[in-house]
Structures are given as structure tokens and as C-alpha cells.
Amino acid sequence: MGHPAAAPKVRDLLTRLAGRGSVAVYDPTGFATAFAEIYPLADLDIAHVYVQDLAALGQQILGRATQPVTDLAAAEVPSLLVVAFDADKIVRDIAHLVPPGTEIATLDEVRLDENRLTNPRRYLDPLNFATNFAWFRDAPDSRGGHLHTRVATANYWHRYGAHDVTLWLTLLDETGAPVAEWEQALPDSPAGVTIDSVAIRQRFGLGDFTGQLLIHAVGVAGHDIVKYALDTFGDDARDLSCTHDANAWPADFYAGLPAPQADERVVLWIQNSHPCPIPADTVGLNVMGDDKGAVFLNAEIPPFATHALNVAQLLPETQWPQQLEVRAGKHFVRPRYEIERTTDDGGSQRRMAHANVERTDLEPDPQIAEIGNLMGKGFLLPAPVLPPERYRSILLPTPMATTQQTLPVAALVYDAQGREVARHDFGELVRTDSVAIDAEQIGGGALNGDAGHMELVYDFPAATRGVDGWLHALFRYEDRVTGHAAESSFGAHIFNTVLTWKGEPQSYTGNPPGLSTRLFLRTAPSMAVPGAATKGDGDDTFCHLIYPASTPWHGASQTNLTLHAGDGSEVATRTVNIACGGSLYWRLSDMFDKAERQRAAEPGPVGGGYVLIRDTTCRLFGYHGLIAADGAAFSLDHMFGF
């Protein structure tokens, strides 16, 4: 119901019903309350609400006590709204109860067009709504240049047997209005896919924009989620960052939003995900653990609109490493935030990252500690330690459930061969604690200048309340030479054990355990489409692959790195072996020769080249990014798989 293309059809339907007088509502599937949350029904004169399930009798729905649908026969109403899709059978079943002259309306009137559906026979098939929003900008910076965005992914549905996949794309501007709509047919191959803001601006003759790009994949198979990497960059080389898909799960709370340092401005990008406005004083911020200190935004945000909220506007006294909680009320999906840092020469550097979903439905589970002997380290959260001579690698544990009053955690540092070289016991952090630790402080010097990785794990001896498995942290990386920074956040999983516990080790497809790897690494330049921005020429791609193991697994990985051209064809493959519990930090320019990289950079039908990282022996966790040709900036985020 929240699809931008459905919204005008729903409004037309409601206007028509309102003009006919009183309305009866039949709610056979229990969808009416949610429907009314997205589309307020204040203009409807609702006379009766009918239900089919006797267990729902007498409940208050849409301001009326529910009645059995058999009462419909005695009603005198001009219209009956059946709140259901695929409603033919539902209507047939009650046809004998509908009074003469009563018009029947169903949600089938607001369906997307048939050519927009993967499975027209079952409207609510999840494959019909393989969608995602991307934050999308092409707008001036403060120095006379422009800022751009670029989505990169691949036709990964092809490997599941999909043919004739089409991307249906809608660009919504800052006000939420659609300013461009187009289709992009994908080749029947695992081709790279690139959507570049500069190319879109030129194609449609657009002015500046900052808004949302709705990506709807039609004709898909295997996956009903659109996954992508999102590069944000500018005419100034110092504006370079990357983030990932928006995870279409509107939540009540998000967390892991960092407060600014003294020379920083943190902007939370609120992007309304629904066709109804976000009321004023609904979206709020508070310092983690200070529920009574929440401050709310006194502004309404229109449907599908984008609002830049300067954190200092609501919480001016906060400062890193304090972390903030976002009160979202299910109005938007996982939001991005942007940090702009003032440089010594009066310029600025930008980076983007995501806040994460804060759960409201968890309680400590004593079984997590009890299975420790069988699951080893159990839940662990891996992240790079970049080459320490150039970069600082910083870890900040972040509470990510409203019930997490304590976090008993420890940080472990490993070299590339999987040897533990340092450990830091945080003890049992309380919810209001914000303790950021530099890997160098906890023994990162033992890496002897080489890259390694760190893992955040539970410290069960320090626990007094138990844990819930929803363990998160923010990882920040700072360039010692340029001051540029990048950051990413994620949650813990159980890795590489054949035993399973509540869906862990997680599997992308099929049942757990997930014991294999398929990761997407976009290359630089990743636009490779006519008219796209030239930013990326001469940049390099880096990747940090980590082989985390909750229990001892195969001694070394058998990891294939296959470089693909933009048309999906294979250019070259390298095989690397990563030690169990270790990691591998590498650059594209070191792994593949110049001729191979040039072949991969040739424009494909709809996008640029990429590397598919495949391992059938173990589950790897990866981070990726770009390094600017002049070294002025870099980007970093965790990778996605399929």
C-alpha cells in the first residue's frame, strides 16, 4: 500500500467513496488498521466494520466495534470497502449478503499495473515487491562544485533463473514529488548495473535534487530484496564515501548515530517511506540511555519527502563518542547520516553511513551462554584493522535493543594469520556508556604495521543480566595523513559452525547453517555508462576479507576472486587462501593486471564491472571501499551477498 505508484490510486478510491455517503468496511484479513495508518480515513463516514473471524468480534477497528459479516445484509450503505487484495473469492463468498444498490470496492482497484508484477496471479507475492529506496543526490556543495551519487549492483537474479528482469525506477525529489520515471531492462546475464545521478540529471534535464530513488525490480527470482552499494562523491576529491541498501524495515527506533566531534556537523537524513506525512513532534533524538531527554523535530515531513536534520539543532551539547537514539515511529527505513568535517584549509570532507534498527522485542536469553562450549566464541562481530601506519581503526560498542541495559563485551585483535595478538575487556558496559577504543590502544601495534582484524564478542564472566545475540558496534577509520574518515556499523552473527541456533549461522538462501560465500565488490570506476560522472578514473578498489570462525573450521579458505566485465562475462579469476580466524587486505590493482582491469572497466549494457567473491568452504565477511587516485580520500563499508 505504501508504493508511490499505488498512492494516487488509493487517494482516488477514497475520494470516490467519500463522495457517495456512508461506507461499510469489511476487514477479512485484519489489514484495515494498518491501511488506515498509511491512509487516514477521516473523510470517510464509516457506518460499520465487519469481520469474518469470530475471535475479532467486538474489537474497536476504525472507531467502530466490529460486527459479524453476516450483519451486512441488514445494512443500508451506498458503499462497501473490502480491505483485501485478490478479492474475487472474498466478494463471491459474501455476494448474497450485499444489499441491493451497494457498490463494492476492493483494493484490487489500486493494484500496480500488470506489467509491473513478477507474479500477476498472486498480488501479495513478495517477488512482486522486490523494492528498495536509495538516497540519491546531485546538488551543489559549499565550494562551487557538485555532489553526486551512484548505485552499483548486478543482475544477481539471473543465477536463480530469472529472465527479462526490468528495473522500474522513480526519482522523488526533496518534497516527495516524482521528477523522473523510467525503466531499465537488464541483460539475461549477471551484468553489472549502475545508476549514476549525473547521467540521470542529463537524461531528464533536471535541476539540483536530493531525494529518494525507488528501485523496483520486476521479473525477479530467488531474492525479493534489491541490494546495492551506494557511492557518494563530489567534484572535490575529498568528498568520497560509500554505504549500502536501505533495508526496507520501518522501525520504531534506530541507534548507533554518532554525535559530532568539535569540527564536525552530523546530519540525519530523514526520508519519509510512506504516502502519509510524518507529523511534527514525531521524530526525535536522545542520548543513548536518556529516554527522558528526547527532543523532537517541530516540523511536518510530507509523504516521501527528504529532510536534513542537523543533530546539533536538537541536541547541541552532545559530542563524540556519545551515541544517539533515533525515535522514528516506523515512518522511515534505516536512515543514513552524513558527517561533514571542516578541514584546516577551510574546506570540508564528507562521509556517510547508516544508523541501524534498534529492536524492541528482545530479552536476555540465558541459552546463549549455555551453548558456549558447543559454539565457541558464538556471536562475534568482525571488522578490519586497516594498515595501522596509515589508518586509525576505532571500535564503539552500540546498544541496539531497547532492552539492552548492559553490554558485557570484549574486543579481540587478530593478525592476518588468525593469531590473537591483543584483547581488551570492556567489562559490563551500561546503556549510557559510550566507550570508543582505538585498536592501537589495545595492542594493534603487535600487527607490525600490517592489516589484521578485530572482533567484538560477549564477555560472559562479566555479565550480570545475560545477552540477547543482537550485538552491534560502529567502526570508524581515520587517515593519519589527510584526516579523512569512513565508518560502518553492523551486528554480530555466529560464523562457520555446522551446529545451528535460532537461524545462525545465517544463510542468504535456504536453511542454516550458511557455510559459503558470495559477495559483490564493485570496482572503480563503477559508472561505465554513457553520460555518467567521470569521478572514479584512476581510483582504486580495496577489499578486506575476514574469515571469522566461532569454532575451528577449515584451516584455510579456498576463495575465488572473479573479475567480471560490465556485461557479466568473466575476465579473470584469482584464488586466495585466508587463514581460519584471519583476514586478507588487498587492492584491485595488486590482484589483477592492468589489461584485466581495463577490460573490466569497459562499459557494459547497463553498468560497470565488479568482482564476485565466491567460496564454497566457509562464510567470509567483507568490507570494501575506494581510494582516491590522489590519496585525498577513501571510503569503506561492509559488503553485501546474495
User: Is the per-residue pLDDT at 575 higher than 90?
Assistant: yes
- What is the pLDDT at residue 276? 96
In the chain, domain spans = 7-111, 126-357, 358-494
Average pLDDT of 550-558?
97
What integer pLDDT is reported at residue 144 of this predicted model? Answer: 83
Q: Is the pLDDT at 533 greater than 70, yes or no?
A: no
Structural class in CATH, domain 7-111: alpha beta
Checking if the pLDDT of 525 tops 70, the result is no
CA proximity to 642, closest of 489, 542, 517: 517
pLDDT at 527 exceeding the cut of 60: no
Give the single-character DSSP code of 538: T
Closest by Cα among 398, 547, 390 to 470: 398
| Residue range 244-290, pLDDT digits in tens | 988 778 999 999 999 999 999 999 999 999 999 999 999 999 999 99
Q: Please provide the average confidence, as pLDDT, over all residues in the chain.
A: 94
| 526 band by pLDDT with thresholds 50, 70 and 90 | very low
Q: Give the span between the Cα atoms of 34 and 458, in whole angstroms.
A: 38
Residue 538 has pLDDT above 70, yes or no: no
Could you report the per-residue pLDDT of 278-330, keeping only the tens digit for each? 999 999 999 999 999 999 999 999 999 999 999 999 999 999 999 999 999 99
Is residue 602's pLDDT more than 90? Answer: no
pLDDT higher than threshold 70 for residue 573: yes
**Ramachandran region of residue 465, left (φ > 0), alpha (ψ -120 to 50) or beta?**
alpha
Q: What is the mean pLDDT of residues 22-44?
A: 95
Residue range 563-583: mean pLDDT, rounded:
97
Q: Is the pLDDT of residue 631 over 90?
A: no
Amino acid found at 244: H
Q: What is the mean pLDDT of residues 193-206?
A: 96
- Give 52-56 contacts, CB < 8 A, sequence gap 24+: 52/28, 56/27, 56/30
Segment 78-84 mean pLDDT: 98
The pLDDT score that the predictor gives to residue 448 is 86
Place of cell 567470509: 620
Side-chain-side CA neighbours of 69 within 13 Å: the count stands at: 22
Amino acid identity, residue 136?
Answer: F
Beta-bridged to residue 26, according to DSSP, are 50, 82
Q: How far apart are CA 553 and CA 312, in angstroms?
A: 47
Q: Reply yes or no on whether the pLDDT at 537 is more than 90.
A: no
Task: Reply yes or no on whether the pLDDT at 532 is more than 50.
Answer: no
pLDDT (average), residues 507-525: 89
Measured between alpha carbons, how far is 362 from 401 in angstroms, rounded to an integer? 7
The model's confidence at residue 238, banded by pLDDT at 50, 70 and 90, is confident
For a pLDDT cut of 70, what percent of the chain falls above it? 98
- Tell me which range, 4-13, 594-603, 623-632, is most confidently predicted by mean pLDDT: 4-13
pLDDT at 529 exceeding the cut of 50:
no
Is the pLDDT at 63 greater than 50? The verdict is yes
Position 603 scores a pLDDT of 85
> Which pLDDT score, from 0 to 100, does residue 299 have?
97
Using a 10 angstrom Cβ sphere, with 0-12 exposed, 13-18 middle and 19 or more buried, the burial of residue 101 is exposed
Q: Does residue 68 surpass a pLDDT of 80?
A: yes
Q: How does pLDDT run across 541-552, given as a tens digit for each residue? A: 999 999 999 999
Supply the pTM of this predicted model.
Answer: 0.94
